[in-house]
Structure formats: structure tokens, C-alpha cells
């Protein structure tokens, strides 16, 4: 069969199948015979295949049947990748949803608070105590102080600078003990309007627990250490910085023997 028996229109209709290697042997032979003598159709084939057109009279390359197989394999790999991603994501989403409903563990709404708490502990561990202080949300503490009838609100005009001084002074013992040498996240749980994040920290060769209360606005409170033995350990001393600040404003101190406040005028 010569090329006069097949028109350019028919060849153009067959070219997509030909380029993808999906047409039968007879159709491929007809297309190749036509392409050998038709420069316009050769250019159309080259454009479709993204190639430079062969010179006139040059042999027409046969379509690669493997091209269709490669395309199919790409689609198959893509489907396998999506399936694997779904297999991994579905349990994760289910776990996060369960935590969201029960108010414990990582979930959709506590990621921000977890990052705030992590940032605070990380800054402490880096020895940047001033930076750690600036991660604290002081508004709630100020409201507590200003609402205390035993304190004179006029004295609170220097609240932030005084608070920073007490925080840094309380951090001195922790710094002298070598600071926080290691820390790791343990858990997170909803508490009131925020979340409490638990950590295990090491300082002075001793392991302690550290709780950080965080909300949308920042770190509201933290506590850690093991208490008074007979004096507070360095981490506990830092946790008590706001208590020391309150005692200074109130003009009192805590008697370790009686566990009661002693006022300066007494």
C-alpha cells in the first residue's frame, strides 16, 4: 500500500496513538510509510513528540511501544505513593482526633501552645534567661497582683522591670548549677483555657520534672524541681520567682519552720 491510499487527515488522527506506541502493527506501518514522504506530517509528529523533525528522506524512527508502558508505570507509582500516604495519614489523623476529643496528647488545636512551651524550655536550656523571661505572658500575673488587697497598686508602676530583675536573680542558682543540660517532651494536656506541657529536664546531674502552662498568648506559668531540701533546688527556686516578687511587694517572707508568712511590721 503506497502513501496515496492514506490521507494526511487520517495520519493526523492516528499520530497520537502512534506517538504513544498504542496503535497496531498495520496502522503503524501505514503511518510510517506516509511520514516517509510527507514533510508536513513529519513536522506534526515531531511537534507532538517534542522532537526536531527529521530531514526529508531520512528514515522515520519507529514509535517506542515502551513509552506507553513508562507512562503507565508513572501513573502506577503515583497511585502507590498516594495510597502509602493515605495509609500513614489516616492513623495519624485518627490519633490526633481522639486526642482532640479527650483533651490529652498532641492534637489539632494545641500545636501552637506546644511550640510556645518548647521555645520557653529551649531558651532556658540555652542559658538565655532574659529571652526566657520575655516569653512569659505577664498580664495575668499583673492582674493577680493588682487585685490583691494587700498590695498597693501604685507600687506596681515598675512591675515589668521589677519582675524581670527577680526572674534573672532567681535564675542565678540554676546558672551556677550548670543550667539545664538536657530536656525532653513528655506529654501535653488541656487545663482550663490552655495546656500544660510536661518535660523531663536535667540540671546539676539531677533529673527533674518541669510543667509549663501555655495559652494562645504565651507561657503563663511554669513549675519544676523537687521542693525544699531544706532549701529549694535551682529549678524550684526559679519556679518560685513570682512568689519572691509578690513577697517583695507585700513586704513579707515565708518562714520555712512554720510555713507561714511573716510581715515586716510584725
In CATH, the architecture of 111-263 is: Roll (3.10)
The confidence score (pLDDT) of residue 1 equals: 46
Reference 240, options 178, 179, 170, 180; nearest CA is 170
Weakest mean pLDDT among 5-19, 74-88, 135-149, 151-165: 74-88
In CATH, the architecture of 3-63 is: Orthogonal Bundle (1.10)
> What mean pLDDT is predicted for residues 179-205?
91
- Average pLDDT taken over every residue of the chain: 82
The confidence score (pLDDT) of residue 107 equals: 61
Residues 176-207 as b or e (16 or more Cβ within 10 Å = b): ebebbeebeeeebebeeebbbbebebbbbeee
The confidence score (pLDDT) of residue 87 equals: 77
The confidence score (pLDDT) of residue 52 equals: 44
Split at pLDDT 50, 70, 90, the class of 158 is very high
pLDDT digits (tens, 9 = 90+) for 198-212: 999 999 889 999 999
pLDDT reading at 12 higher than 50: yes
Residues 6 or more apart whose CB falls under 8 angstroms from that of 8 comprise 34, 38, 40, 41
The confidence score (pLDDT) of residue 100 equals: 60
Reference 176, options 102, 100, 237; nearest CA is 237
pLDDT digits (tens, 9 = 90+) for 83-115: 787 777 777 677 667 666 666 666 666 788 999
pLDDT reading at 220 higher than 50: yes
Q: Where exactly does CATH 3.10.450.50 map onto the chain?
A: 111-263
Q: Where exactly does CATH 1.10.10 map onto the chain?
A: 3-63
Determine the 3-state secondary structure of 218 from DSSP.
Answer: strand
Amino acid at each position: 500500500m503506497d502513501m496515496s491510499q492514506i490521507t494526511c487527515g487520517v495520519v493526523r488522527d492516528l499520530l497520537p496513538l502512534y506517538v504513544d506506541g498504542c496503535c497496531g502493527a498495520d496502522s503503524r506501518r501505514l503511518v510510517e510509510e506516509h511520514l516517509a514522504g510527507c514533510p508536513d506530517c513529519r513536522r506534526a509528529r515531531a511537534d507532538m513528540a517534542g522532537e526536531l523533525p527529521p530531514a526529508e528522506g531520512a528514515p522515520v524512527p519507529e514509535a517506542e511501544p515502551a513509552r506507553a508502558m513508562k507512562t503507565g508505570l508513572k501513573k502506577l507509582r503515583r497511585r502507590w505513593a498516594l495510597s502509602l500516604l493515605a495509609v500513614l495519614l489516616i492513623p495519624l489523623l485518627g490519633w490526633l482526633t481522639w486526642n482532640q476529643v479527650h483533651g490529652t496528647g498532641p492534637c489539632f488545636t494545641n500545636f501552637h501552645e506546644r511550640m510556645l512551651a518548647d521555645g520557653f524550655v529551649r531558651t532556658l536550656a540555652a542559658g538565655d534567661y532574659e529571652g526566657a523571661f520575655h516569653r512569659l505572658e505577664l498580664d495575668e500575673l499583673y492582674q493577680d497582683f493588682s487585685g490583691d488587697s494587700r498590695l498597693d497598686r501604685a507600687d506596681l508602676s515598675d512591675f515589668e522591670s521589677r519582675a524581670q530583675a527577680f526572674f534573672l536573680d532567681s535564675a542565678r542558682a540554676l546558672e551556677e548549677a550548670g543550667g539545664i543540660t538536657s530536656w525532653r517532651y513528655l506529654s501535653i494536656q488541656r487545663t482550663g483555657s490552655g495546656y500544660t506541657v510536661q518535660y523531663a529536664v536535667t540540671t546539676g546531674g539531677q533529673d527533674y520534672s518541669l510543667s509549663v502552662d501555655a495559652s494562645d498568648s504565651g507561657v503563663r506559668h511554669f513549675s519544676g524541681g523537687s521542693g525544699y531540701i531544706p532549701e529549694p533546688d535551682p529549678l524550684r527556686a526559679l519556679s518560685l520567682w513570682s512568689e519572691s516578687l509578690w513577697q517583695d511587694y507585700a513586704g513579707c517572707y515565708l518562714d520555712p519552720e512554720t510555713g507561714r508568712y511573716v510581715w515586716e511590721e510584725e
